[in-house]
Amino acid sequence: MHAANIPSEHADAAQHAAANLFSGAGHQLLYVPTELQQLITQALEVGYVTALHDVRDGD
């Protein structure tokens, strides 16, 4: 995980959520380049943590 962007209190939850969403996308993502897989995973993690912050802040 890109620790500079994800607070440690949310890191495990973000990784788990990203893994669930990624695995739900099907076998097609197995054949994309590793760099693209990492980019997608990071985007999912950042989105998940942003949503957690919004919920916490009442947004």
Where in the chain are the domains? Answer: 8-57
Instruction: Pick left, alpha or beta for residue 26 (phi over 0 → left; psi -120 to 50 → alpha; otherwise beta).
Output: left
- To the nearest 10°, the Cα dihedral for 55, 4, 29, 51? 10
Per-residue tokens: 5: 């962007």
Q: Rounded mean pLDDT of 4-29?
A: 77
Predicted TM-score (pTM) of the model is 0.69
- For the stretch 8-23, what's the b/e string if a residue is b when 16 or more beta carbons lie within 10 angstroms of its beta carbon? eebbeebbebbeeeee
Residue with structure tokens 């962007």?
5
Q: Rounded mean pLDDT of 28-57?
A: 86
